[in-house]
Structure 1
Amino acid sequence: MSGDGPAISRDGRVLRCRIARGRHGTLDGEALAEVGPALADLAAADPADPDGVGAVLLTSDGASFCTGGDVRAFESAPDRGGYVRTLADTFHVFVQALVNCPVPTVAGVPGWAAGAGMSIVCATDLAVAGRSTKIRPAYPGIGFSPDGGMSWTLPRIVGAGRARHILLTDQVLDAETACAAGIFTAVVEDSDVVAEAARTAYRVAQGPTAALGRIKRLLAATWDNDLATQLDAEAASISASAAGPEGAEGLAAFVGKRAPRFHG
């Protein structure tokens, strides 16, 4: 069963995407089948379009952001390996689109982010937690190894040694600890999580969309590039930014001592 609300909705330049359903935040495969292609489609959009998407906000219906897949369905499947593989393949289409999304992605994370929920948080650019939010790999607890890119994203965020500790011991991290480790970008009062995540998404959505996309691509490439290659990529990127309309507006605003208006 899907959540009560639509999986995707627009609010100005923010694309709101629901990724889980129910009070406990069970991963919603039907929603992800809609959200993944919608995120992938953003790659073909014109970042200069004032009516385009400037940020993605990931939400859930319940008290928890996402506590992973339906474990009871895993247990009852006649072919558990085949069933879980199909779910993982579908989930990974979404994760790939999330990581490659050309605009900033923001998650509001109340309650728990466990299993697939933690994978989604680690694949998101900016994640806002509440003071009582907790995060946990959870896969070892049911005898599973992780999916959703957690073995790829987590070491890049917290370092290889700490990632081993978190995954192998199935460590539960509170919000402040996870924020200090770089998994969350902000911790606010529990009642403010969704509103603060939305404010963050709206703020970055008004920024220089093309430049922010270039920043994301540069950061993604740094793991594979040597310094000379990265410097070449930076030179090409900043030159393209300077030659584009966002650069023109940013420079004019700076010289004119006013706030830039990147989208009208």
Structure 2
Amino acid sequence: MTTPLLVTSEGGVTWLRFNRPDRLNAIDQALAEAMRDAVAGLGADPGLRCVVLAGEGRAFMAGGDVTAFQGEGKEGRITAILDPMHEAVEALGALPVPVLASVQGAAAGAGMSIALGADLCIAAEEARFTLAYGRLGTVPDCGGTYALARLLGLQRAMGIALLGESLTAAEAQALGLVNRVVPGAALAAETEKLARQLAAGPREAQGQVKALLRGAAGRDLHGQLAAEREAFLACARTPDFTEGVAAFLGRRAPRFGG
């Protein structure tokens, strides 16, 4: 039986590769459960510095496997996919390291939701983003509405969600949904380069930045300033902070590793 999710780790970077290329990596129960279990185990790894989400074959992910969405008992089958995937999405957001989505081909439905829910997104020029839920008569899942509203604001998010229009990688970048667009042939190498850059950064500071930005919408200015103060002091206690200050004063590049 083919493993629905390929998990590899090297140099502090863990790759989670959706591995149902014959189905454009559409999510079935096995893939959903594999994602939940893999992500749940990442938080306990002190050496983890970056997570990369990618898809095998010619697509990032074509949403959920629609073959499970029909016939008697469909609600149970849908729940068996949604629940573990939602656990995985929430756990990825809570990880204290950056999560990078590397997108080629189609990022449709849940694939678009997952890509936009990552902390950073790099895409091949030929990548296409579409929610496409309206065609099925349902709503976005895997955090799609959460990510769109935060990234675009209400009106633009409504337009993309309700009209279901496909976005090119360039259009997604212009809207602020994608950080970088690269030629398809260079996607793997550029993703690796960006992941290594993130992995070489100050782990505690990156985790605190991620938490501050993700939590900002739920706090007023006073609360955000208090959170920033607490995070700054937490960083000041780390070897990376000591190294960063010394490197700055010594006019050299920092060598983080704490």
Give the TM-score of the pair, scaled to structure 1.
0.91
Against the structure 1 CA distance between its residues 31 and 80, is the aligned structure 2 distance closer, same or farther, given a 3 Å change threshold?
closer
Deviation digits for residues 137-166 of structure 1 (CA, Å, limit 9, x no counterpart): 011112221110111111101111111110
Report the counterpart of residue 182 of structure 1 in structure 2. Answer: 176
CA contact (8 A) 2:35 2:85 kept: no
Residue in 2 that maps onto 1:49: none
**2:74 counterpart letter in structure 1:** R
Partner of 1:82: 76
- My pick for the range that moved more, 239-248 or 221-230, is 239-248
Which blocks of at least 5 consecutive residues in structure 2 are unaligned?
Answer: none
User: Distance between the aligned counterparts of 1:172 and 1:164, measured in 2?
Assistant: 14
Match of 1:125 among 119, 124, 128: 119
- 1:105-254 pair list within 5 angstroms: 105-254=99-248
Aligned residues of 2:243 and 2:256 also touching (Cα < 8 A): yes
What is the identity, as a one-letter code, of the residue corresponding to 1:53?
Answer: L
Aligned positions, number: 257
Q: CA deviation at 1:257?
A: 1.7
8 Å contact kept, 1:42–1:102: no
CA drift at 1:45: 4.2
Deviates more, 1:20-29 or 1:133-142: 20-29
Letter paired with 1:63: R
Report the alpha carbon displacement of residue 100 of structure 1 after superposing the two structures with TM: 1.2
Structure 1 residue 81: Cα displacement: 2.1
Query: Per-residue deviation at 1:32?
Result: 3.9
The answer to whether the Cα contact below 8 Å between 2:107 and 2:115 also exists between their aligned partners in 1 is yes
Q: Give the one of 48, 55, 61 matched to 1:60.
A: 55
Using a 3 Å threshold, how does the CA distance of structure 1 residues 20 and 27 change in structure 2: closer, same or farther? farther
1:69 pairs, out of 56, 64, 71, with 64
Which residue in 2 is equivalent to 1:8?
A: 7
Letter in 1 for 2:30: E
**Sequence identity of aligned pairs in percent?**
37
- Contact map agreement 2:69 2:78 (CA 8 A) in 1: yes
Classify the secondary structure of the residue corresponding to 1:15. Answer: strand
TM-score of the superposed pair, with normalisation by structure 2: 0.93
Q: Which amino acid aligns with 2:14?
A: L
Q: Secondary structure at the match of 1:176?
A: helix
Tell me whether 97-106 or 30-39 shows the greater mean CA deviation: 30-39
Paired residue type of 1:10: S
